[in-house]
Amino acid sequence: MAIFKTAANLELWPEILPHYRYIRFLERGADRNIVVMAARRSGIPISWTSEQIIDRERLEIHFHHLKAWTKGMRVVWTLSDTPDGVLVAISHDFRFRIRPLAPISNRMKQRRAVITGIGPITCIGTGVEDFWDGISAERSGITSVTSFDASVFRVRCAGEIPGWDPEEFFSPHRLKRLDRYAQFAVVSAKLALDDAHIDYSREKPQDRIGVSFGTALGGVCKAEEQYIRYLKKGARGVQPTLAVQVFGGSAHSNMILRMLWSQGAPKRH
């Protein structure tokens, strides 16, 4: 198996794995090597000494960390053929030598994260099928800006979301409480849950689901709109719901309230 040979050849690792800085051999053999391995983790340079054992019959590559803070850790790469290609499984067995930190290490070992559904809202397509069609067609979503007057800027192109109609997903009453970025977030969450085939309703709340969401500016579109209204009409011209639309947590608050614990989850008509 060509991929097994490539994975077992540590000299190639700095070329095919960008976070590896170098591999230095201390002992070299056909099926056993002692090497110093150096990489970067979160931008921090680290290195360790490891014993490599190559099991060609079982298509496994074993590593035993001999020095550094990961001393004692055992790692096994297992490669197997599947109809879709080569499956690579990597297992770690690590018992922390620093006892106060052992509980953290044990929790990290026991937890797995997998992607079960996605909800893309992009400039080349909304939803899994449209998004994949855009990728397959090598379609570019970068076009001239149409959502505002960009003539005063040197750059007048962007990746806008084409044909976005929030009324397709939300009632007018709900839209009064959702900035454009929160609309994207709530619909994206719904698409991802549907793609993962996860049921949700008020009667059967998903109490094991949480939301982790990041935003740079929150509801800045609504903030700018209401600022203009304030200049023209004063404080009485500002929507009472402004505060719940512009703050950074408005998107994931609505994702939880509208998607997981309410009957009013957005639905396409």
pLDDT per residue over 201-246, tens digit each?
Answer: 767 766 777 788 888 888 888 888 889 999 999 998 998 888 888 8
Contact predicate 133/125, CB 8 Å:
yes
* 264 band by pLDDT with thresholds 50, 70 and 90: very low
pLDDT at 120: 95
Name the DSSP letter for residue 260: I
Task: Quick: pLDDT tens for 111-161.
Answer: 667 888 999 999 999 999 999 999 999 999 999 999 889 999 999 999 999
Among the CATH numbers 3.30.420.40, 3.20.10.10, 3.40.47.10, 3.40.50.300, which is that of 165-269? 3.40.47.10
**Using an 8 Å Cβ cutoff, are 170 and 239 in contact?**
no
* Mean pLDDT of the region 48-77: 93
Domain with CATH 3.30.530.20 in the chain: 2-110
Q: In terms of CATH architecture, what is 2-110?
A: 2-Layer Sandwich (3.30)
Instruction: Give the model's pLDDT for residue 94.
Output: 76
User: For the CA atoms of 99, 103, 108, 109, what is the dihedral angle to 10 degrees?
Assistant: 70
Section 162-183 average pLDDT: 88
Task: Look at residue 107 and tell me whether its pLDDT is greater than 60.
Answer: no
Helix (H, G, I), strand (E, B) or coil at 31: coil
CA dihedral 192, 196, 202, 203 (to 10 degrees): 180
Tell me the C-alpha distance between 12 and 61, whole Å: 15
Q: How confident is the model at residue 97 (pLDDT cuts 50, 70, 90)?
A: low
Among 7-11, 166-170, 172-176, the minimum mean pLDDT is found in 172-176
Contact 186, 258 (CB under 8 A): yes
> Rounded mean pLDDT of 239-260?
82
